[in-house]
Amino acid sequence: MADRIELVIKIGSMALIRREDNDIDYNLFSRLGGELRPGMLLVSSGATEIGRLDYWKRTGTFLTGDPEENKTDYSAQGQAILMETYRRFIKPEYSVRQVLVEHNHFNDPQKRRHLYQLLTHCAGQNAIPIINYNDAVSDEENRKLELQAMQRESPARQVVECVDNDETAAVVAELTGVSRLVLLTSADGIYQDPSDPQTLVRDVCYPDAESLTAAVRALQDHCVGASRAGANGAGAKLEYALRSALLGTEVIIASAKKYRLHDILNGDAPCTRIGITK
């Protein structure tokens, strides 16, 4: 098998749990895990939320105090559970490799090359890489200072933060040069009216960058709220999707709760597609 990543998939935290039961959605893990194969790269959120639920199950309470410190503690607890659950459901003939990243892995050219080699080797070695931002060792204040210093040193350079895994997925798609990026959520896609499922926007595809950008900006005006505290919501998702689309990657936003990856890729499931038509 060639050392080539064919597809980048990102799945959000709320798609991985059954919120009404405060538990992991094992059916979703089973369905998605069974479809993953070498040549695919998964950017997975969920460590913090799964760690939060696991802490509650073991103690009967949630952490109080500073939310950033809680995020650190929960993510450290949830990361092992997240990976163990993927390993349980991904086909046993495939290796599973955890890749924890931080902003400096993408902003430093040498670290970018190293990460690219790691990811592309996986396809040829029958392995599936699973990427997550390393929240357990990330400190927001230090991260912001580091990013500001990088920007001052090279004002024309685009510096990425990647705490939001939608951004991480977009940056990884750019790094690996894939033709398609799938953002799996708990919704069918992007809506003109978030309260009306009938307003799903199925295609945001235009022949040029200017028209595509204008259409995405108009859609962002309809985006309100987020699926959980600390999430950036559909507006930010569209921003990162636009970044990938402008670089030639087709972006698909679809529900992991309702549909199989195979059906989403084949156009047999409702979704929002964003890209430049060729």
- Residue 247 has a pLDDT of 94
Instruction: For residue 1, tell me if it sits in a domain.
Output: no
- Total-model pTM: 0.88
Instruction: For residue 121, tell me if it sits in a domain.
Output: yes
CATH code, 123: 3.40.1160.10
Average pLDDT over residues 244-266: 96
pLDDT digits (tens, 9 = 90+) for 111-152: 989 999 999 999 999 999 999 987 777 666 555 555 566 566
Count: domains in the chain: 1
DSSP 8-state code for residue 137: G
Instruction: For residue 265, tell me if it sits in a domain.
Output: yes
Q: Give the residue numbers spanning the domain of 218.
A: 7-276
Rounded to whole angstroms, the Cα distance separating 160 from 102 reads 10
Residues whose CB falls within 8 Å of the CB of residue 111, separated by 6 or more in sequence, listed in order: 104, 105
Indicate if the alpha-carbon torsion angle 224, 169, 160, 238 is positive or negative: negative
Rounded to whole angstroms, the Cα distance separating 120 from 243 reads 22
- Residue 246 has a pLDDT of 96
The average confidence (pLDDT) of the chain is 88
pLDDT digits (tens, 9 = 90+) for 188-210: 999 988 888 899 999 999 999 99
**pLDDT for 31 beyond 80:** yes
Amino acid at 163: V
Instruction: For residue 186, tell me if it sits in a domain.
Output: yes
Instruction: For residue 2, tell me if it sits in a domain.
Output: no
Model confidence at 83, in pLDDT bands (50, 70, 90)?
A: very high
Instruction: For residue 100, tell me if it sits in a domain.
Output: yes
Instruction: For residue 161, tell me if it sits in a domain.
Output: yes
